[in-house]
Homo-oligomer: A and B are copies of this chain.
C-alpha cells in the first residue's frame, strides 16, 4: 500500500465558508478541491498504521481543548513568499496549541512556515493579478466571529480533492 496524503483543518461556519467562497470562486483555481478551511497541519504522508496512531492522538488532543471563539478582521497576503491572499484569523492560544501539538510525536514534524491562522481566498494568480486583487480586497473590512468546536482529518484523492476521514469534537469524551 502506498502512503496516503493527509491534512488537518477546521471548517468555519457555513456563513464564513459562503463568504470565503464568494472570493474563492473568482480568485482561487483550487476552489473546488476542498471547502474553505483553516489549515491546522499541512499535508503529510502516512501509512495505515501511522494514521491509526495519529487518529488516536487527534482524539486525545481534541478532548483536551474546549470549544473557543475566533475572529476574522482583515485580509492579508503571503506575498512575496507566495501570491496567496487570505482572511486573517486572529491569533488564538488554542489554535497555536493545536497546531503545535500536531507537530509533535506521533505527528510528523512537517512544518515549513510559521503558523499563521488563515482562510485562503485567492492563490496561484500571476503577480499582476495578485496585486490587482489584493489591492481591492485589502480595502474591505471584515468582522466575522465563529466558534470552533471541531477539527477534521482529511485525505487527498488522486485528482487533488480532499475527503473527510474523521471529525474530532473539542472538549468531549
Using a CB–CB cutoff of 8 Å, the interface residues on chain A facing chain B are 4, 11, 14, 17-18, 21, 25, 32-33, 35, 150, 152, 155, 157-159, 161-167, 169
Contact = CB atoms under 8 A, between A and B. Distances in A.
Minimum-distance CB pairs A-B, first 8 = A32-B32, A164-B164, A167-B167, A35-B163, A18-B158, A166-B167, A11-B163, A21-B159
Contacts of A11: 163-164
Nearest to A169: B166
Interface of chain A, helix or strand or loop or mixed?
mixed
Given A25-B159, A35-B163, A166-B167, A14 B4 contact: yes
A164 B154 CA distance: 10
Copies of this chain in its oligomeric complex: 2
B166 A17 contact: no
A14 B159 contact: no
Contacts of A150: 166
12 contacts: A14-B155, A14-B157, A18-B157, A21-B157, A21-B161, A32-B32, A32-B33, A32-B161, A35-B161, A150-B166, A152-B164, A165-B167
Nearest to A18: B158
A102 B121 CA distance: 36
Nearest to A159: B21
